[in-house]
């Protein structure tokens, strides 16, 4: 069926189409459902999988063919990390740029660890992308998912430029959304302008600056808030960094 989103203050209908050949290598092999719609700014591909213990759903969006965006709920991002271990993400090797956008519930317990291992998020430095998480993160995550006890994982060579953008308005819990309403929601209404803005910043950064890309230098919110939660009001109340000896809290609720 057709899907509508808001595009430049106008309602735009996405036309269901077959997955274009250049985008087919982004698809995962086991979803129960794959929907591809064409919009003025590119294709949006949605894949749903409702049998995994840790992955309720998985989404892929592509703007043009040179930029691939992965965005998802916390549980599906957990699935993504599990797939890294199993070399599933080698399917992304054809992308020039891969932008990983954690949804807030995932960012709640990933960002403190990301800040600790920021040097591993440099883009265009090596041909592999390595996730490193601190012991506290591993322990907190392992309490929920056995697979996380085996962290860190390494992405296979092939992606030369990888970015992680923790600050993104993708706040929905995808498992609670009917697929025929997905593109009517705020995250998708904002998807085109937000991704274009973020991608433009990244591209401009690499055209003008040879220094490594860092999260703290790119995302102001990382500098302000050491802990990310799914409750926006709680984030607004946090106005300063906690003492260095304070414990890091991880919000693992979905």
pLDDT higher than 70, residue 20? yes
User: SS3 string of 124-172?
Assistant: CCCCCEECCCCHHHHHHHHCCCHHHHHCCCEECCCCCCEEECCCCCCCC
d(CA 197, CA 49): 30
What is the percent of the chain where pLDDT is above 90? 0
Strands (E), the chain: 3-7, 10-16, 33-39, 42-48, 57-63, 67-71, 97-101, 129-130, 154-155, 162-164
Determine the straight-line distance between the first and last CA of the chain, rounded to whole angstroms: 29
pLDDT higher than 50, residue 16? yes
pLDDT in tens, 177-210: 222 232 333 333 444 444 444 444 444 443 343 3
CB of 182 within 8 A of CB of 72?
A: no
pLDDT higher than 60, residue 4? no
* DSSP code of residue 18: P
pLDDT in tens, 113-140: 333 333 333 332 222 223 333 344 334 4
Q: How far is CA 246 from the centre of its chain?
A: 28
């Amino acid at each position: 069926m057709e899907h509508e989103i808001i595009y430049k203050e106008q309602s735009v209908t996405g036309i269901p189409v077959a997955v274009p050949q250049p985008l087919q290598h982004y698809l995962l092999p086991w979803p129960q459902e794959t929907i591809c719609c064409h919009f003025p700014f590119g294709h949006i591909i949605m894949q749903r999988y409702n049998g995994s213990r840790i992955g309720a759903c998985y989404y892929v969006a592509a703007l043009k063919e040179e930029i691939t965006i992965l965005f998802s709920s916390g549980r599906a991002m957990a699935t993504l990390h599990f797939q890294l271990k199993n070399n599933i993400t080698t399917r992304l090797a054809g992308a020039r740029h891969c932008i990983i956008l954690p949804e807030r519930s995932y960012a709640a317990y990933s960002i403190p660890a990301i800040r600790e291992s920021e040097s591993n998020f440099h883009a265009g430095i090596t041909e592999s992308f390595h996730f490193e998480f601190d012991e506290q993160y591993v322990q907190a995550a392992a309490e929920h998912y056995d697979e996380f006890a085996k962290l860190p994982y390494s992405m296979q060579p092939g992606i030369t430029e990888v970015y992680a953008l923790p600050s993104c308005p993708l706040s929905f819990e995808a498992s609670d959304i009917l697929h025929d309403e997905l593109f009517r929601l705020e995250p998708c209404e904002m998807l085109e302008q937000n991704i274009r803005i973020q991608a433009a910043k990244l591209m401009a950064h690499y055209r003008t600056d040879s220094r490594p890309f860092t999260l703290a230098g790119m995302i102001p919110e990382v500098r302000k808030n050491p802990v990310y939660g799914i409750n926006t009001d709680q984030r607004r109340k946090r106005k300063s960094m906690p003492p260095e000896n304070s414990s890091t809290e991880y919000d693992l609720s979905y």
